[in-house]
Structure 1
């Protein structure tokens, strides 16, 4: 009886590890790049989004001045400096993947640059319910780094 129970426990652990590996390798199917809709967060706390209505998931959108193409270029630069890898890029949209080094798990960061100067943001872990605040930290680090990049001025300086 004890050997059977031990085998079941080991099997459950192996299945959990297998599912985790699969979920972290396979790209989610709810990305804006796939659906055309910028997604919010599921109920689990390992996600933050500027579209979320609740305090657990809500994070402020980013802001920019100037044109959207320049903002996307600046975001790409900041993401790559932070260690993210751009997976998808289209007009006003970036999807980057960050690998959590300890376990090689992947997190997805999506940014949708709107023409009125706002950037919707979503960061979510592919696997696990808890991320210990990592996605929120990443978004705030992105915000600080993006705000530190000199943004183009909308006024033209007179030349002497």
Structure 2
């Protein structure tokens, strides 16, 4: 009986990692469309400064900054890459997209920053590719970037 239970546990673990691997693919509809990010899904594993303000589950305030747009973007890029688990997917002046991989299971989050030329604001969208809840990881990530830029 113990062997069957152990076999079932191993099968479930393997199935879980296969599921994560298959569903961890980069969405093809990220980026900006007319200055807007893709909306967050209904699941609570996404935050966006462009979500409706009354959508408390997804909305996070944009980051107001002082200084040069290019320097702010370089600060964001340096910080994110310095964490050791992020890679740049796309970068151009005013927009950067990172893929951030969790250390234990290998979940990937897509983190996008948009710095419109006309405003001293950073819009951000951080969303998990797989799963339902993110245990607040995406919101915390944005808070850390906010702390970096505001201090």
**Per-residue displacement from partner, 1:55-97 (whole Å, max 9, x unpaired)?**
0001010122233222211211121223322111012001011
Q: TM-score, normalised by structure 2?
A: 0.80
How many Å separate the matches in 1 of 2:104 and 2:29? 26
Residue 128 of structure 1 corresponds to 131
Shift of 1:16: 5.4
> Contact (CA 8 Å) 2:64, 2:120: kept in 1 or not?
yes
Number of residue pairs aligned between Structure 1 and Structure 2: 141
Question: Equivalences for 1:12-27 in 2 at 5 Å?
Answer: 17-24=17-24, 26-27=25-26
Cα distance in 2 for residues equivalent to 1:57 and 1:33: 18
Q: Which has the larger radius of gyration?
A: 1
- After TM superposition, list the pairs within 5 Å mapping 1:37-56 onto structure 2: 37-53=36-52, 54-56=55-57
Looking at structure 2, the residues matched to 13 and 43 of structure 1 have their Cα atoms a distance apart, in angstroms, of: 27
What residue in structure 2 maps to residue 119 of structure 1?
Answer: 122
CA change 1:11–1:36 in 2 (3 A) is: farther
Structure 1 gap segments, 5+ residues each: 1-9, 149-160
Provide the alpha-carbon RMSD of the alignment: 2.7
Unaligned runs of 5+ in 2: 1-9
SS in 2 for 1:73: helix
